[in-house]
Amino acid sequence: MGRTDYHVAMQAVIDHYQASGADDPAFVVFRTDGSPTSKAAAEHVLCTASRLPIFWQFIGFGDDEFRFLHRLDDLPVPNRRVVDNAGFLAAGPTPKTLSDAALYDQLLHEFPLWLDSVRSAGILKD
């Protein structure tokens, strides 16, 4: 069984974004087939990243129920995060059964709401 260090991968994305000097919004597609090795660390990184113009779209592949990814998607605002900076799509064990239209609808479902939220919070400048 492999290891899934969400927090390490997420921090690498954040570090790259910040080092790039970008101020445009970033849409990160985070694919996984299992739970993280450290749920607390992954949750901490996501909550800290809510102050940045980075949206995390998690996609779960396989038979896992992905309770943790559902929890990340539903972390409370403003108690834990400045804005809701994550979405979740359960692609399941047969992701090819999703039509292109359904896939993109689900991938982008929360993104427009997030854009409004980060603008309102002053995280993303127009």
| 28-71 pLDDT tens trace | 999 998 889 999 999 999 999 999 999 999 999 888 788 999 99
Q: DSSP letter string over the chain?
A: -----HHHHHHHHHHHHHHHT--S-EEEEEEESS--S-HHHHHHHHHHHTTSSEEEEEEEESS---HHHHHHHT--TTTT-SS--EEEEEEES-GGGS-HHHHHHHHTSSHHHHHHHHHHTTSS--
Q: Where are the domains of the chain?
A: 6-10+25-115
pLDDT digits (tens, 9 = 90+) for 61-102: 888 788 999 999 999 999 999 999 999 998 887 878 888 998
